Amino acid sequence: MSERVGVLLLAYGTPASPHEIPAYYTHIRRGRPPTPELLAELTERYEAIGGASPLLGIARTLAERLELELGERLPGEDFQVVLGMKHATPFIEDGAAVLAAAEVERTVAIVLAPHYSRLSVEEYMERVHAAEASAELGELAFVREWHLEPGYLAMLARRVQLELEHLHSLGAGAVRVLFTAHSLPSWIVEQGDPYPEQLQETATAIAQLAGVDDWAVAWQSAGRTADPWIGPDVCEVIRDLGAGADHDAVLVCPAGFVSDHLEILYDLDIQAREVAAQAGLRFARTALPNADPEFVSVLADIVQAQLAAVAG
The smaller minimum CB distance to ligand FEC, of residues 28 and 305, is found at 28
User: DSSP strand E in 86-164: where?
Assistant: 106-111, 139-143
Query: Min. distance of Cβ 271 from ligand FEC in angstroms?
Result: 11
Q: In angstroms, rounded to a whole number, what is the distance separating the alpha carbons of residues 109 and 142? A: 5
Shortest approach of ligand FEC to residue 28 CB, angstroms?
Answer: 5
Q: Which is nearer to ligand FEC, 52 or 157 (CB)?
A: 52
CB of 295 to ligand FEC, least distance (A): 15
Beta strands per DSSP E along 48-125: 77-85, 106-111
| DSSP, res 232 | -
Q: Which residues pair with 109 in a beta bridge?
A: 8, 142
Beta-strand pair 106-111/139-143: parallel
Residue 42 or residue 234: which is nearer to ligand FEC going by CB?
42
In three-state form (DSSP H/G/I as H, E/B as E, the rest C), the secondary structure along 253-294 is ECCCCCCCCHHHHCHHHHHHHHHHHHCCCEEEECCCCCCCHH
Q: How far is the CB of 311 from ligand FEC (least distance, A)?
A: 29
Q: How far is the CB of 184 from ligand FEC (least distance, A)?
A: 6
Q: Phi/psi at 66 (nearest 5 deg)?
A: -65, -40
- In the complex, which residues of this chain contact ligand FEC (CB under 6 A)? 12, 14, 25, 28-29, 42, 53, 55, 113, 119-120, 182, 184, 223-225, 261-263
Residues facing residue 110 across a β-bridge: 9, 143
Q: Which is nearer to ligand FEC, 176 or 261 (CB)?
A: 261
Residue with smaller CB distance to ligand FEC, 14 or 107: 14
